[in-house]
Amino acid sequence: MTDKTKDELLSDFVTTSHNYYRNQFQKIGASATFTWTFNWVAALLGPIWFGMRGLWNWALTFVILEAFAYIQLGRGLFGDLGASARDRIAQIEGTLAFRREQLAAAIENNADNVAVFERTITSLEGALTDIEAEIVQLEAGAIWVTLTGLISLIIIKICAGAIANSALEKRYSEWLSDRSVSAGLNPFRTAIAATFSVLVIGATVIHYAFPGVITWLTDFPTSPDIRLDAIDRVEAFFAVVIESGEWFFQVITFGIRSVLDALEVLFVDTPWPVIGSFIILLTWLSAGKRAAIFSGAFLAYMGFLGFWEKAMTTLALLGTAACISIAIGIPVGLFCARRPRFYAVVRPIMDFMQTMPAFVFMIPVIAFFGTGKPAAVVTTMIFGGTPVVRLTVLGLRGVPDTIREAAIAYGASKWFLLTKVDLPLAAPSILAGINQTIMLSLAMVVVASLIGAKGLGEDVLEALQYASVGQGILAGFAILFCAMILDRIVQGKRE
């Protein structure tokens, strides 16, 4: 590549001030550390310069910083710094006038609480004096607010000018290897950067320096009728779904109830020595003697403090949600692993299930299933059912193609390939997904108690309602110990 070709490339990238940027880029490239350069145009234009050059990360940063500086300037030069204090004075004066009327009535009736009203009035008058002094102090400090904004703006401008050339040189290096990177001075990009910067800074300065002048900057322009109409439409939709799909929800409830009743018989109705020894033995076989000893200690803690039955009820509820989630999640993960288009549809649904707050999706669950244990199981499944799908897909996609191709070359059938190659190699990821599903399901114990689920979550909820610290801590440790036992059983000796 000749020098002329490099100059042409640089000219195509920067469009303007070719010689200036060539010298600056050479200076920056010659040093392995940060090289001090200063771009006066970038310092003056600030975020507009960075936006027109396609450096949007820096443009957004400097928009926020300059908006803060201009807000301080606007408040100091034009703003009413004592506005909020004057509002407090107006409120106190209204209260003071009311108390004076009460005092006059008490004196007229020779009441016993005259002294109380006099003390209240004296206190309010003292508060007025203090706030008036605060207003004087705030207004006197306007010059310092202005200086803070001015100094901040100067520092921000200096930083913008110092960073500009280095940021553009890095962008130029990226452009040389990838021509999809934006270059030159695009008029549309320049207009977007200028409009966005002016709107953001202008709107914020007007809002803070002249509050209330433009009302729609504070209050979003809407109408209560829009919200009320939306509520009516949503309620009508749910009414139609509930009425037409009642049989479907009854079938799901029956299935959940069947699994839950079976697990409650196993965990709750079985004598405690039997189920306790079974859990300890299972922990021993899965995670070793040390984990079994700790498991026995945790179970003893629950028993001696009277949490045994509630802990077993929690395990039954958790087991129902986890078993159904795993039974559905692993096949769905198997199907999605080799079908990217289907997974592209399923993934946003799982994102919605994980990001939606639990208290929000409890509302439609209650509408469809009522309150009680089946609704709690469904809520727990929604919150905790996605990790097993995601990690099953991740595990199967992580199986090396060379191993699969070798198995196919030796005549392996699809079933053999799945059971003898894919699943064994993906087992660590799948087991991690099962573990995460169980842990997330256990995290819903307290939330599920709000809609009628029994168990340890009920004790924690009661402790929150009555501020019973001791009860809440003890029940919380019981939930923690259940989680640790399940984690050791599922994870086993793989760690």
Is residue 53 located within the same domain as residue 26? Answer: yes
Is residue 311 located within the same domain as residue 376? Answer: yes
250 has a pLDDT exceeding 70: yes
Q: Give the end of a domain, one of 179, 201, 217.
A: 217
Q: According to DSSP H, which parts of 305-339 are helical?
A: 308-337
Quote the mean pLDDT of the chain: 83
Cβ-based neighbours of 257, under 8 Å, separated by 6 or more: 373, 374
Band (66; pLDDT cuts 50, 70, 90) = very high
Is residue 350 located within the same domain as residue 472? Answer: yes
Q: Give the end of a domain, one of 93, 117, 140.
A: 140
Whether residue 292 contacts residue 336, with contact meaning beta carbons closer than 8 Å, is answered with no
* Residue listed under structure tokens 């196993």: 266
In a domain, 237, yes or no: no
In this predicted model, what pLDDT tens digit does every residue of 319-341 receive, in sequence order? 888 888 888 888 988 888 888 88
In a domain, 223, yes or no: no
Band (195; pLDDT cuts 50, 70, 90) = very high
Is residue 340 located within the same domain as residue 384? Answer: yes
Q: What is the DSSP string of 448-469?
A: HGGGT--SHHHHHHHHHHHT-H
In this predicted model, what pLDDT tens digit does every residue of 353-404 receive, in sequence order? 878 777 777 888 888 887 778 888 888 888 888 888 899 999 888 888 888 8
Which pLDDT value is given to residue 4?
A: 52
Which pLDDT value is given to residue 493?
A: 53
Q: Which residues of 302-332 are buried (b: 16+ CB within 10 A; e: fewer)?
A: beeeebbbbbbbbbbbbbbbbbbbbeebbeb
Which pLDDT value is given to residue 153?
A: 92
We report the CATH number of the domain holding residue 312 as 1.10.3720.10
Is residue 123 located within the same domain as residue 192? Answer: no
CA dist 351 to 55, 345, 354, 438, Å? 30, 11, 5, 18
Band (260; pLDDT cuts 50, 70, 90) = confident
Band (3; pLDDT cuts 50, 70, 90) = very low
Q: Give the end of a domain, one of 217, 251, 268.
A: 217
Is residue 345 located within the same domain as residue 422? Answer: yes
* Mean pLDDT, residues 425-447 taken together: 83
CA dist 282 to 285, 358, 386, Å? 5, 32, 26
- Number of structural domains (the chain) is 3
Is residue 298 located within the same domain as residue 366? Answer: yes
In a domain, 352, yes or no: yes
Question: What's the angle, vertex CA 215, arms to CA 203 and CA 72, rounded to 5?
Answer: 40
495 has a pLDDT exceeding 50: no
In a domain, 167, yes or no: yes
With pLDDT > 70 as the criterion, what percentage of the chain qualifies? 98
CA 296 – CA 290 distance, rounded (Å): 10
158 has a pLDDT exceeding 90: yes
Classify residue 284 as left (phi > 0), alpha (psi -120 to 50) or beta.
Answer: alpha
Q: Which of 29-33, 70-74, 150-154, 242-246 is least confident?
A: 29-33
Is residue 477 located within the same domain as residue 357? Answer: yes
494 has a pLDDT exceeding 80: no
Q: Which of 143-147, 209-213, 420-424 is least confident?
A: 209-213
In a domain, 420, yes or no: yes
Q: Which two tokens stand for residue 225?
A: 């009728």
Is residue 93 located within the same domain as residue 74? Answer: no
In a domain, 464, yes or no: yes
- By residue range, what is the domain housing residue 348? 243-491
In this predicted model, what pLDDT tens digit does every residue of 448-467 receive, in sequence order? 777 777 778 788 878 877 77
In a domain, 419, yes or no: yes
Is residue 151 located within the same domain as residue 130? Answer: no
Is residue 155 located within the same domain as residue 94? Answer: no
In a domain, 189, yes or no: yes
Is residue 101 located within the same domain as residue 63? Answer: no
